[in-house]
């Protein structure tokens, strides 16, 4: 075969291998009275492109509006993409922002931001406490905000103290802003279910913006009618504030925070000691004490945590207590009806659960009259060792995050090691 023939043969083969460009594929998807024409273009950019077009939608107008609202203000895949309680949280969040925006319209911002910035700086040092109790601090933030607004209401009524009263109002609002922003992420995180935290955050802020705008409109209407006088503002202000605080309290009660702090840890242990079952974050949320989160729970051993070691133990007893549980990252000391627990610096949520279980079992044994306090403590530790693998496995399976223990600004200890 000469060169010409080879060229001809190669050309024939090249022509034979040529294919016409693939044509787009079409299909129709029908779901809930909506027909969608879908097409897949394999020749499109990036290796293919899918386009969807609605060709028939026989749903009532009401359903279309609801679907459009859900798409804009709720995370993709709702309700299956979020944890239980998100709808309740969202409803009261909307109520909170609506009433807050109305209050803002009725108040007059007179002073510069100096006092507000001072409040922000002071509140910023309390971030660890907000991590531990985000729901309580979120409620406190709204109480402070309404308190600041109330001071703005009354500041024109006391001209001799106008600067001091209005400045204190801005100071309270500054603290409220920091507390509200700092607690936003842990609250949103408690609802994230499928790695969709950013989607949750974006849709939650969209709902806040929508109802803020609606509240501003309603507030303008009130300001020009019922609340056109100071007396009218003083009547409407407390009513709106009550609605505002009610909304945020219900919003926080619906939030299933899954991190371990002193109160939630004590409740988990108390439930386990009483019934042998572990409650989930959704089951505990309405039982949390949001006003007094540091209350002691007797069934969990009345454990008080975060106290400085010097207040819990005298120096001569430290080594003796350490020798009781040499391989643990907690120290326990019982005084009267309380059990004081001090954690080491590297202690995790599991270490806190171990210490709490020992305290709860020991307290239960003492109440039943089983020997001395030291004997009950040793027996309680042995019982904890037997049940802990099953217990902690159930805790994790119920949705609790055990890698960290959030005790706020509680004191921890670190023992130096000498060679």
pLDDT digits (tens, 9 = 90+) for 217-259: 998 998 888 888 878 888 888 999 999 999 999 999 999 999 9
H or E segment and range at residue 334: strand 330-335
Own/partner pairs for 42-50, CB < 8 Å, 24+ apart?
Answer: none
Determine if residue 321 is left, alpha or beta; phi over 0 gives left, psi from -120 to 50 gives alpha, anything else beta. alpha
Handedness of CA 12, 16, 19, 20 (dihedral sign): positive
Tens of pLDDT, residue by residue over 344-367, are 888 999 999 999 999 999 988 888
Handedness of CA 257, 251, 201, 170 (dihedral sign): negative
* pLDDT for the residue 399: 92
Please report, in tens digits, the pLDDT of each residue of the chain (419 residues total). Answer: 444 444 344 444 444 445 555 666 666 666 666 676 767 666 655 455 556 676 777 777 777 777 777 777 877 667 777 888 888 888 888 888 888 877 766 655 544 456 776 777 777 778 788 888 999 999 999 999 999 988 888 887 888 887 788 888 888 988 998 899 889 989 999 998 878 888 898 988 899 999 999 998 998 998 888 888 878 888 888 999 999 999 999 999 999 999 999 999 999 999 999 999 999 999 999 999 998 888 899 999 899 998 888 788 877 788 888 888 888 999 898 887 889 998 988 899 999 999 999 999 998 888 877 667 778 888 999 999 999 999 999 999 999 999 999 988 777 887 655 44
What token pair was written down for 35? 């027909």
Handedness of CA 38, 197, 73, 210 (dihedral sign): negative
CA distance 299 to 361: 9
- Termini Cα distance of the chain: 87
H or E segment and range at residue 342: strand 338-344
Helix (H, G, I), strand (E, B) or coil at 166: helix
Q: Do residues 373 and 334 touch, judged by C-beta distance below 8 A? A: yes
Q: Which residue ranges make up each domain of the chain? A: 108-254, 262-415
Return all residues near 134 (Cβ < 8 A) that are at least 6 apart.
Answer: 182, 183, 186, 187, 257
Nearest to 339 by CA among 366, 364, 363, 371: 363
Q: Do residues 366 and 298 touch, judged by C-beta distance below 8 A? A: no
Q: Give 267-323 as a 3 state SS string.
A: HHHHHHHHHCCCCCHHHHHHHCCCCCCCCCCHHHCCEEECCCHHHHCCHHHHHHHHH
Inter-axis angle of helices 162-189 and 114-123, nearest 10: 40
CA distance 330 to 311: 15
Nearest to 102 by CA among 180, 205, 211, 176: 211
Q: 41 pairs with which residues across the strands?
A: 49
Q: Do residues 26 and 37 touch, judged by C-beta distance below 8 A? A: yes
Question: Count of CB atoms within 10 A of residue 402's CB?
Answer: 18
Determine if residue 40 is left, alpha or beta; phi over 0 gives left, psi from -120 to 50 gives alpha, anything else beta. beta
Cis previous bond, 253, omega within 30:
no
User: In 190-254, which residue ranges form alpha helices assigned H by DSSP?
Assistant: 197-223, 230-253
* pLDDT for the residue 245: 94
Question: Count of CB atoms within 10 A of residue 140's CB?
Answer: 21
Q: Do residues 192 and 146 touch, judged by C-beta distance below 8 A? A: no
CA distance 34 to 197: 29
Burial string for 243-257 (b: 16+ CB within 10 Å, else e) reads bbbebbbbbbbbbbb
- 39 CB-contact burial (10 Å; exposed 0-12 / middle 13-18 / buried 19+): middle
What token pair was written down for 37? 């024409």
């Amino acid at each position: 075969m000469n060169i010409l023939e080879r060229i001809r043969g190669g050309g024939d083969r090249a022509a034979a291998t040529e294919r016409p460009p693939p044509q787009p594929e079409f299909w129709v998807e029908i779901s809930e009275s909506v027909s969608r024409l879908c097409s897949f273009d394999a020749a499109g950019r990036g290796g293919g492109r899918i386009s969807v077009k609605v060709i028939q939608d026989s749903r009532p107008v009401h359903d279309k509006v609801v679907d459009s609202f859900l798409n804009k203000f709720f995370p993709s895949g709702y309700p299956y993409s979020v944890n239980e309680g998100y709808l309740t949280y969202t409803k009261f969040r909307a109520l909170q922002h609506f009433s807050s925006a109305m209050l803002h319209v009725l108040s007059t911002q007179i002073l510069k931001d100096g006092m507000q910035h001072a409040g922000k700086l002071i509140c910023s040092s309390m971030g660890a406490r907000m991590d531990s109790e985000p729901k309580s601090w979120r409620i406190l933030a709204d109480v402070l905000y309404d308190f600041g607004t109330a001071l703005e209401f009354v500041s024109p009524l006391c001209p001799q103290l106008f600067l001091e009263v209005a400045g204190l109002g801005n100071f309270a609002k500054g603290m409220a802003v920091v507390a509200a922003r700092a607690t936003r992420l842990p609250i949103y995180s408690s609802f994230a279910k499928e790695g969709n935290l950013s989607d949750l955050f974006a849709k939650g802020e969209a709902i806040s913006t929508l109802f803020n705008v609606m509240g501003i409109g309603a507030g303008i209407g009130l300001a020009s009618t019922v609340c056109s006088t100071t007396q009218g503002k003083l009547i409407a202000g407390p009513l709106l504030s009550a609605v505002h605080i009610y909304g945020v309290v219900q919003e926080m009660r619906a939030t299933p925070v899954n991190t371990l702090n002193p109160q939630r840890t004590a409740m988990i242990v108390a439930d386990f000691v009483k019934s042998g079952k572990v409650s989930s974050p959704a089951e505990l949320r309405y039982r949390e004490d949001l006003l007094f989160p540091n209350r002691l729970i007797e069934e969990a051993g009345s454990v008080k945590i975060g106290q400085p070691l010097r207040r819990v133990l005298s120096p001569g007893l430290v080594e003796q207590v350490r020798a009781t549980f040499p391989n643990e990252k907690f120290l326990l000391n019982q005084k009267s009806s309380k059990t004081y627990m001090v954690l080491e610096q590297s202690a995790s949520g599991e270490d806190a659960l171990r210490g709490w279980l020992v305290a709860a079992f020991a307290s239960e044994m003492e109440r039943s009259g089983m020997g001395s306090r030291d004997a009950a403590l040793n027996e309680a530790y042995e019982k904890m060792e037997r049940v802990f693998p099953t217990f902690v496995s159930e805790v994790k399976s119920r949705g609790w995050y055990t890698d960290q223990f959030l005790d706020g600004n509680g004191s921890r200890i670190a023992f130096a090691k000498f060679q």
